[in-house]
Amino acid sequence: MPKALVIGAGSAGPAVAQLLTEQGWNAPLFEARSSLDRAEGLFLNVAINGRRVLRLLGAEERLLSDAHPAPLMEMWSGRGRHLATVPNGPAGSPADGGAVVRRGWLQEVLWDSAITAGVQIHPGKRLVGVEQNDRGVRAEFADGHVEEGDIIIGADGVGSLLRRQVAPEVTAEYTGLIGTGGFSRVPGLAPTVGVQRFVFGRRSFFGYLVREDGTVYWFANLTAPQLPSRDRSVSGEEILTRLQQVHDADPEPVPSILAHSTGSIGSYPIFRVPTSPRWWRGRAVLIGDAVHATSPSAGQGASLALEDAASLAAALGAGATDHERAFAAFERERRERVEKIVAYAASIDKQKKTSGNPISAAARDFLLPLFLRGATKDTRYDWVFDYTPPPVVAASDSPNGARSTP
Ligand SMILES: Cc1cc2nc3c(=O)[nH]c(=O)nc-3n(C[C@H](O)[C@H](O)[C@H](O)COP(=O)(O)OP(=O)(O)OC[C@H]3O[C@@H](n4cnc5c(N)ncnc54)[C@H](O)[C@@H]3O)c2cc1C
């Protein structure tokens, strides 16, 4: 049985491990974090292209059982004026809209799905070194554990260790934005049914949604040209105080959402990996954020990672006999699409950064409604969502039986 060592149990890792297992591979999954913590991370958008992969995994329905469906996104100015409504999915197809989920919930659903398919997940295993030769790969973990396999798949995120071996010249770029966010509950605030709202605040971009039960998911992007020093950890309270100052002149419900914030506040600098000259080297291949991290602005990070998982599993098929050919086919299929989406997300980041400048903000508030008039029927961006995973032909001894393209 061919063996793939899968590194990183975020979005891409569990998905590729499951699909390979279903094709007859031994695909153990190694994760640096020591346990699955539902509270880790905030929330993210899963677009229809990512949902199709979850469907292939048999996990879509469970994921959507605790999601905020958001087929539409509303843009508001810092003066409380509705600027535009745009689709969060292919235009004119609300059933194919995105869904916003807690990141911890996506993790749990993907892990459970992989375990059910027979994947062995090993938490607490941080990859620290890899060697490869013409017979196989040898991975070394921080706790001294060593594992051998035919190939190694780096699904180890934006700070990927495996990327140092595949493409050592590539480093993740800081976008100049700090993502912050959390949860809130504002008495009397009505649910934003089917919608996420975005406010071009006077000094910072703010996004929120209100679930049916009144829980608010919110985020704010702070512009910070210099990457904050790692030496100083900033407390959630300090971040909240800063956000309340930054958003004090913005329209309601922004100040109230911050005032009623509950639980911990997340804060992380946003990085991207716009391109990499190589996606694979020898027996090692990269997928997801490890090779093309995108800022969250296009709502595509998790969906692209899931797409990679499906495409790589299909390229590898049932055997490791010609892994280099499979890796090359995978890169050929994926590169143009993901680089285009990473660039698209970067162009959205630029719009967010202008909100501190009153002149460009006024120009944007004037122009955006003109550009985005009729956007809900504008099919120009449908290509972003245009991915259908290739069919996976299950191995006869797979516990889950055959699957077909959703
Ligand atoms: C803790 C966490 C919280 C996040 N929160 C958000 C959020 O709130 N909103 C948002 O839009 N995006 C968030 N992201 C990013 C988002 O999950 C990814 O952009 C997207 O899902 C792409 O998935 P991925 O599998 O490529 O990478 P990731 O989801 O980042 O997964 C990579 C995995 O690899 C593991 N890993 C890293 N290095 C090693 C190593 N050396 N050995 C073994 N394992 C390793 C990491 O612990 C992680 O589990 C978060 C990521 C993480 C890790």
Residue bearing the bigger pLDDT, 352 or 286: 286
Give the pLDDT mean for 38-52. Answer: 88
Residue 147 has pLDDT above 60, yes or no: yes
**β-sheet with 98-102: strand ranges across:** 43-46, 98-102, 68-70
Structural domain spans, the chain: 4-68+103-173+273-352
- Ligand 1 atom at minimal distance to the Cα of residue 160: 38
Cα 346 to Cα 339: distance, rounded to the nearest angstrom: 11
Q: Give the pLDDT score at 215.
A: 96
- What are φ and ψ of residue 102, in 5° steps? -65, 140
Q: Give the pLDDT score at 274.
A: 87
pLDDT band at 354, cuts 50/70/90?
low
Q: Give the pLDDT score at 266.
A: 86
- What are φ and ψ of residue 114, in 5° steps? -65, -45
Each residue's pLDDT tens digit, 86-134:
999 999 788 899 999 999 999 999 999 999 999 999 999 999 999 999 9
Q: Which of 130, 156, 218, 270 most suits a substitution to test ligand 1, by most atoms within 8 Å of the C-beta?
A: 156
Residue bearing the bigger pLDDT, 215 or 376: 215
Three-state DSSP string of 264-329: EEEEEEEEECCCCCCCEECCEEECCHHHHCCCHHHCCHHHHHHHHHHHHHHHHCCCCCCHHHHHHH
Nearest to 13 by CA among 29, 33, 1, 37: 29
Distances (CA, A) of 158 to 131, 161, 187, 261: 21, 9, 38, 28
Each residue's pLDDT tens digit, 360-374:
777 777 777 877 777
Residue bearing the bigger pLDDT, 371 or 139: 139
**Highest mean pLDDT: which of 169-178, 307-316, 375-384, 388-397?**
307-316
| Ligand 1 neighbourhood includes 10 CB (under 6 angstroms) | yes
Q: Which of 37, 42, 44 most suits a substitution to test ligand 1, by most atoms within 8 Å of the C-beta?
A: 44
Q: Which residues of 83-119 are buried (b: 16+ CB within 10 A; e: fewer)?
A: bbebbbbbbeeeebbbbbbbbbbbbbbbbebbeebbb
Each residue's pLDDT tens digit, 18-28:
999 999 999 99
3-state secondary structure of 121: strand
Cα 299 to Cα 98: distance, rounded to the nearest angstrom: 9
Residue nearest to atom 16 of ligand 1 (CA): 302
Does the structural domain 4-68+103-173+273-352 have CATH classification 3.50.50.60? yes
Residue bearing the bigger pLDDT, 226 or 138: 138
Residue nearest to atom 38 of ligand 1 (CA): 156
| Ligand 1 neighbourhood includes 312 CB (under 6 angstroms) | no
- What are φ and ψ of residue 304, in 5° steps? -65, -35
- Beta pairing partners, 269: 178
Q: Give the pLDDT score at 405.
A: 43
Give the pLDDT mean for 156-179. Answer: 93
Distances (CA, A) of 225 to 15, 175, 270, 274, 331: 35, 8, 11, 18, 32
